[in-house]
Amino acid sequence: MQDFTYKDNEASMPALSAMLTSRMGDGSGNHEAAHLDTVRLLMAALADGSLLDVGCGQGRFTAAGAALMREVVALEPDPARCNWTRELVADRENTTVLNLLATEFIEQHPGRQFDLVILSMVIQHLATDSVPQLLADVARLTTPGGMAVVSTTHALEKARCFFLQHAPEQHIGEAAFNDYARDNQSLDMGLPVRRFSRSEFIALIPDAFEIVLWNQFSYYRPEQLGHFARLHRVAPDELSDVGNSQYLVLKKRAALAA
Ligand SMILES: C[S@@+](CC[C@H](N)C(=O)[O-])C[C@H]1O[C@@H](n2cnc3c(N)ncnc32)[C@H](O)[C@@H]1O
């Protein structure tokens, strides 16, 4: 595994979370509820199966899977975050946390596949030309008939863009985004962020998958619409039914008979 450092300590997450809502009930619950509940449902349905959490970060899905599923493998390229998750699930004998990229895991475990693969909130931070390979790896790592859940950012088609975390009002070009995303030493502007539209996200999904479900989540609280409208460069009312994030539930097509 080459040196890799995730360009964020997630210190700004509570402030962002306070601006978002699940729109379920009184809106006081977790703004990611739709996404989290879908993953939990699949984990419970596939309890006898295996889970792969690609880019596990601080292990929220790894820990949930460890409690619900037979076997869990988590991959994380940042050594510190990998160690964090390893500690989190240290008492779970069914769980292994590895400091590896998906490609490296495939090289080391040829033919290994999982009943459920999670790729949560990773692809929006990667150079654009590396995303198809990562999604191909996810397809390869999913058992035929198995499921995958991929989540990322979400914006209206006309508002898809690239920016750097510490200057969200300043949209940048794809080339500048890619240069910054590839240069792991420049930490000064935080994470590179790509805001995906629904159609460009769906267009990236490999043919090996059937799309079972698309959904959006993390809606903007009404009093925050003006703030996000400025960042997205749209009118506030255009964002009233737009989630800040989106996810796809995918089913790997059965292998064709020879
Ligand atoms: C926003 S965090 C999401 C963490 C976790 N999946 C979650 O949803 O809580 C993105 C994570 O992706 C990891 N990452 C970065 N590049 C990656 C890559 N090429 N493949 C897999 N994970 C990567 C980062 O180190 C970071 O931990």
SS3 173: coil
Quote the CA–CA distance of 50 and 69 in Å, as a whole number: 6
Mean pLDDT for the stretch of residues 97-124 = 98
Which value does ipTM take for this structure? 0.99
Could you tell me if the CB of 34 is within 6 A of ligand 1? no
Give the mean model confidence (pLDDT) for residues 133-138: 98
Alpha-carbon separation of residue 48 from 114, 115, 134, 138, 141 (angstroms): 11, 9, 26, 20, 17
Looking at residue 257, what is its pLDDT?
55
> What pLDDT is attached to residue 227?
97
Residues 66, 94 contacting (CB under 8 angstroms): yes
- The alpha carbon of 76 and the centre of ligand 1 are apart by a number of angstroms equal to 7
Separation CA 101–CA 108 (nearest Å): 11
pLDDT in tens, 179-230: 999 987 776 899 999 999 999 999 999 999 999 999 999 999 999 999 999 9
The whole model's pTM is what?
Answer: 0.96
Q: In this predicted model, what pLDDT tens digit does every residue of 41-88 receive, in sequence order?
A: 999 999 999 999 999 999 999 999 999 999 999 999 999 999 999 999
**Contact predicate 153/245, CB 8 Å:** yes
Q: Which protein residue has the closest C-alpha to ligand 1 atom 13?
A: 55
For residues 85 and 114, the answer to whether their CB atoms sit within 8 Å is no
Q: What percent of the chain has pLDDT over 90?
A: 88
Q: Which residue has the higher pLDDT, 85 or 6?
A: 85
Residue nearest atom 27 in ligand 1 by C-alpha distance: 57
Ligand 1 centroid – CA 122 distance (Å): 5
Ligand 1 atom closest to the Cα of residue 10 is: 1
Rounded Cα–Cα distance for residues 112 and 186 (Å) = 35
Q: Give SS3 for 28.
A: coil
Q: Give Cα 55 distance to the centre of its chain.
A: 8
Lowest mean pLDDT among 22-26, 111-115, 140-144: 22-26
